[in-house]
Amino acid sequence: MALIHHTTMRPTKLELLADWLPTRAWYAAGPHAPRPVKAGGFRLDDPEGEVGVEFMVVTDGEGPDAVAYLVPMTYRGKPLDGAEHALIGTSEHGVLGTRWIYDGVHDPVLVGELYALLAGRAVPQQQSVSDVADPTVAAVLDAAAVATGDVEPLGAVDGAGHTDIRVRVGDGAEPLTLRLRRVLRPTAEDGGAAALGTLTAEWTPAGPEGGPEGTAVRGACVTVHRP
């Protein structure tokens, strides 16, 4: 299980995201510079215990114009080879020292554990508490898409409101697309009849519909499709 250190990070993750979000194709630009606020999320464990894996939900804006974004991030003690384009930034952790923070859709550890979660082989963990499962995260995957073997990431491409992660699981298997919803909406939508699987989670909207004291909403974060 991942150990959560309650300590300082300089700059903070939210400060790094404020600079990084406007560089993304799926960012819904508003009249002001982004001011992301943590609104939910969960963690996954790296089986090797080396990489921190977090799916963070942040909101930007207030009221009806507020947008909720899903930002999967990995935290590493040294740079990830070949992933310079995916670097969100570096931060000084009060316990672990310098951490390289990456857009997790380009990190093979996160991609592998995301598929494991969908396939029922990984347990989502609470975002800020060590060794505690998060029962609010739910994942289902059609039996036809559940496979054994190594998860081979084949690349991630940003679209309007989402990122498509292509993977192959096991030798010779047909690739799958894990569609990560970058812009989240509270809905019962499950990806439609063509979806082979869905991951849903909760977050707290900003503005009148929610806030620090508000009511959590639920929506699809990831859907699984054939290419």
Is 3 inside a domain boundary?
Answer: no
Domain assignment present for 2 = no
What are phi and psi for residue 112, nearest 5 degrees?
A: -65, -40
**Which pLDDT score, from 0 to 100, does residue 190 have?**
60
91, 16 in Cβ contact below 8 A?
Answer: yes
Q: Does residue 189 lie within any of the structural domains? A: yes
Closest residue by Cα to residue 84 from 109, 101, 71? 101
Does residue 118 belong to any structural domain of this protein?
yes
Query: Which pLDDT does position 75 carry in this prediction?
Result: 96
Structural domain count, the chain: 1
pLDDT at site 211: 47
* Residues pairing with 166 in the sheet: 155, 177
In a domain, residue 28? The reply is yes
- Domain span at residue 123? 9-225
Nearest to 182 by CA among 13, 20, 27: 27
Asked whether residue 1 is assigned to any structural domain, the reply reads no
What pTM does this model have?
A: 0.92
H helical segments located in the chain = 13-20, 108-118
Q: In the 8-state DSSP scheme, what is residue 202?
A: E
From first to last of the 227 residues of the chain, give the pLDDT tens digit: 566 777 788 999 999 999 999 999 999 877 678 899 999 999 999 999 999 999 999 999 877 778 999 999 999 999 999 999 999 999 998 878 899 999 999 999 999 999 999 999 999 999 988 889 999 999 999 998 999 899 999 999 999 999 999 999 988 789 999 999 999 999 766 655 679 999 999 999 875 544 444 689 999 999 999 98
65 found inside a domain: yes
| 185 lies in some domain | yes
Burial class (CB in 10 A: 0-12, 13-18, 19+), 18: middle
